[in-house]
């Protein structure tokens, strides 16, 4: 039996799933994509990653950010197979329903591969990088291979998203130290990275504090992510250098106050459509 050309059908969310995500700022959902679907999609996504070429800087010579993962963005623009994965309605509908919004747009996708021996990912907030006025942002994090706790699955500080912007701290040793203190001072419950099968996925709010340990195995941690935001959002201020860069790359041609709807930010799901 042939597989559909993109993940088809909806994933059933319960009211408890939605309320839990909105309370904690993150959730792990099992089997968002099936093993059969991952078997089809993984080679296509790896082919898209390969089009970027190999990493030129040896692991030992990189800074903390560079050791955390190999990052390749907007695979959907480089490979039709990657586009069909990134644009999958099943995933986008989950994003919209968890956020409680009627429609979501694509911000960008990214492959995040943590190499064997790769370093830890410091505590951080993704929304630090995004010049968007909305708090309704979400990241799907899906491994393409089975991941053990030793390979560096993500951990989260539950409820930390409710504080919104907690400081202009990009991913760094400084963000690790400052947010570690903040988490301890506010006694946020920690959810450590769990074993995940290929096709499982975590979803987290853009303000949720999260990080990951290093990869202590001899296997690559292959992960594909997609970032969504609520349709109708506007471009926010470029008040740090990372937001300046992000606006130019992921919201091309737009200025603060404009509708966040460039040609590379299509609507991926709208209720009733």
Domains and CATH numbers, the chain: 15-255 (2.60.120.620)
**Mind listing the pLDDT tens digit for each residue in 102-144?**
999 999 999 999 999 999 999 999 999 999 999 999 999 999 9
Q: Distance between CA atoms of 17 and 55, rounded to whole angstroms?
A: 38
| Residue 26 DSSP SS3 | strand
Q: Which pLDDT score, from 0 to 100, does residue 65 have? A: 82
Q: Which pLDDT score, from 0 to 100, does residue 68 have? A: 82
**Mind listing the pLDDT tens digit for each residue in 13-26?**
999 999 999 999 99
Q: Which pLDDT score, from 0 to 100, does residue 250 have? A: 97
Please check the confidence at residue 62 and state whether its pLDDT lies above 90.
Answer: no
Residue recorded with tokens 């994509």: 33
pLDDT bin (cut points 50, 70, 90) of residue 3 is very low
User: What is the residue-averaged pLDDT of the chain?
Assistant: 94
Q: Distance between CA atoms of 210 and 230, rounded to whole angstroms?
A: 21
Please check the confidence at residue 6 and state whether its pLDDT lies above 90.
Answer: no
Q: Which pLDDT score, from 0 to 100, does residue 2 have? A: 41
pLDDT bin (cut points 50, 70, 90) of residue 5 is low
Nearest residue to 49 via CA among 265, 199, 223: 223
Please check the confidence at residue 67 and state whether its pLDDT lies above 90.
Answer: no
What is the percentage of the chain residues whose pLDDT exceeds 70?
Answer: 97
Predicted structure pTM score = 0.94
Q: Which pLDDT score, from 0 to 100, does residue 1 have? A: 31
């Amino acid at each position: 039996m042939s597989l559909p050309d993109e993940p088809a059908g909806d994933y059933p969310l319960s009211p408890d799933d939605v309320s839990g995500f909105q309370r904690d700022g993150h959730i792990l959902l099992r089997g968002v994509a099936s093993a059969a679907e991952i078997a089809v999609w993984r080679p296509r996504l790896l082919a898209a990653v390969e089009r970027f070429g190999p990493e030129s800087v040896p692991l030992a010579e990189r800074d903390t950010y560079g050791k955390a993962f190999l990052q390749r963005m907007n695979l959907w623009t480089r490979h039709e197979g990657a586009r069909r994965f990134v644009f999958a309605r099943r995933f986008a509908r989950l994003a919209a329903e968890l956020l409680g919004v009627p429609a979501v747009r694509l911000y960008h996708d990214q492959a995040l591969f943590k190499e064997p021996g790769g370093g830890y990912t410091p505590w951080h907030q993704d929304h630090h990088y995004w010049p968007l006025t909305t708090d309704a942002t979400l990241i799907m994090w899906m491994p393409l291979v089975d991941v053990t706790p030793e390979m560096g699955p993500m951990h989260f500080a539950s409820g930390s998203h409710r504080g919104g912007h907690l400081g202009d701290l990009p991913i760094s040793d400084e963000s690790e130290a400052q947010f570690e203190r903040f988490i301890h001072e506010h006694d946020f419950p920690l959810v450590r990275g769990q074993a995940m099968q290929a096709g499982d996925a975590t979803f987290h709010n853009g303000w949720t504090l999260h990080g990951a340990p290093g990869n202590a195995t001899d296997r690559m941690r292959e992960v594909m992510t997609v970032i969504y935001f609520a349709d109708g959002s506007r471009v926010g201020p470029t008040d740090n250098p990372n937001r300046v860069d992000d606006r130019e790359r992921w919201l091309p041609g737009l200025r603060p106050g404009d509708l966040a709807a460039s040609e590379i930010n299509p609507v991926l799901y709208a209720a009733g459509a």
